[in-house]
Structure 1
Amino acid sequence: MRLSKMHPEDVKAELRKRFATVSAFERQHELPAKSVHDLLRGRASARVEKAVKSVIERPVSDFSKSECSDVSESSSSTHRKIEKAR
């Protein structure tokens, strides 16, 4: 779907499906903070638009959790307070 025809909330939802947050997307693609926000409010940026389009055009199934997540497998252990209670 063309980016210009998508509702801004739909664009953000697509990015969140793949990166958990829009900020994580911006960090991973080395974009300035709030650049997606600016793009969706009408401020033209070819670099940001190209990055967003490249992600939105790929199916969600193409993204692995490790590719898009800042959370490592080691941090998914039980919370320290629960460990103490055991």
Structure 2
Amino acid sequence: MAILTDTKARSIKPEDKPLAHGGVTGLTLHPSTAKGRGKWVFRYVSPLTKKRRNAGLGTYPEITIADAARDAQAMREQLANNLDPLNN
């Protein structure tokens, strides 16, 4: 899967489906109520409770694609160490 580009993210419309980042599993950009804006969501399964969780990483374009990917990757590393990122 291709990594989300800034051009594609800026063209997101409120009626669009969430856009996958493509480089970090579970990271998506959910459309907001205005064109070219969205909410970053990192979705994962907690190693503690085995339940699916959603971590909000901020809004686009205030949080860039690179920043969201960096934050989600750091959370992936915590998950690899059996830590729930939202409990730390």
Q: Highest CA radius of gyration, 1 or 2?
A: 1
- Is the strand fraction higher in 1 or 2? 2
More helix by share: 1
Q: TM-score range by the shorter chain?
A: 0.3 to 0.5
Which gives a bigger RCO, structure 1 or 2 (Cα 8 Å, sep 6+)? Answer: 1
**TM-score, normalised with respect to structure 1:** 0.33
